[in-house]
Chains A and B, each alone.
Chain A
Amino acid sequence: MNNRLRELRDKQAWSQGDLAEHLDVSRQTVNAIETGKYDPSLPLAFRIARLFRQPIESIFTPDKE
């Protein structure tokens, strides 16, 4: 799955640690999501969407098959 998390975080001028604090997860988890090594659960994806005030499908997009 692809995501725009890094782009959205950069727009807010937040560090990975700042974003992790907002989402109540570890910095490693933010890093793993941004680098595409880990796909978040649905509740966490919704928390991310709510934080950036964007629909979930505009942040997370499936890989092209």
Chain B
Amino acid sequence: MSRISAKSYQRRTMIAMTIYVALLLLVWPLARGADNSWLKLACALAPVVPVLYVIALMARKVLQSDELEQRTHLIGLGVATAVVSVFSLIGGFLAAAKVLPPDAAPVILLWVFPVLVVAYSGVRGWVARRYGGDSCGDENSPLALRLLLPAALIGAVAIYAEFVKHDDYLAGIATGMAAGLVVVTLFFAWRRWAGARRARG
């Protein structure tokens, strides 16, 4: 099996996660209204497919890593697991004690994977920088650019929801997510620009 390049890994992950968001926002809501039980099942589980692909991609990347990279992966996964466990435990106790609304438990479960991935990426990036590298590899594209594609695609979902589906709720969620990503993109672009300016003296 050939070693997957950082650029290829990023591109594939980004495409898969964009498909995940699109399926979550556009296909998953159809499950509640579907009459046919197979169609209901297919719509409900559609977002799982790109997630399984990303997990397989992550496993391949970790297996092909060298010893230092595996160390950073291990620390990232360890901390992320601890973070997710603590939040799940807190959420579970609050839901069981009915401090949270009764339908909060499934929502908490839906957040497990995204929180795990975000915590893992953040900690791994931080550990890699401590060893003098960056989070993904030599040929890494700027973070701002990597965030711009999901922001644009989620923005497209917002436009679709507002003007084609006339679904204010979905349009609101997608607009909020896209706007949040644009703010984060601008922050990282500014940080990169300021760093380059400092380096030039």
Contact surface of A with B, Cβ cutoff 8 Å? 17, 24-29, 31-32, 35, 37-38, 40-41, 44
Contact = CB atoms under 8 A, between A and B. Distances in A.
Contact of B132 (A24, A25, A28): A28
B66 A24 contact: yes
Given A37-B130, A37-B132, A27 B138 contact: yes
8 contacts: A24-B66, A26-B65, A26-B66, A26-B69, A28-B132, A29-B66, A29-B67, A40-B67
Contacts of A37: 130-132
Secondary structure at the B interface, as helix, strand, loop or mixed, is loop
A26 B137 contact: yes
Interface residues of B, number: 13
B128 interface: yes
Contact of A25 (B68, B128, B134): B68
Contacts of B128: 28
B133 interface: yes
Contacts of B131: 28, 32, 37-38
A28 B66 CA distance: 10
Nearest to A34: B132
B138 A38 contact: no
A2 B138 CA distance: 25
B195 to A, nearest CB: 18
A31 B130 CA distance: 12
A26 B138 contact: yes
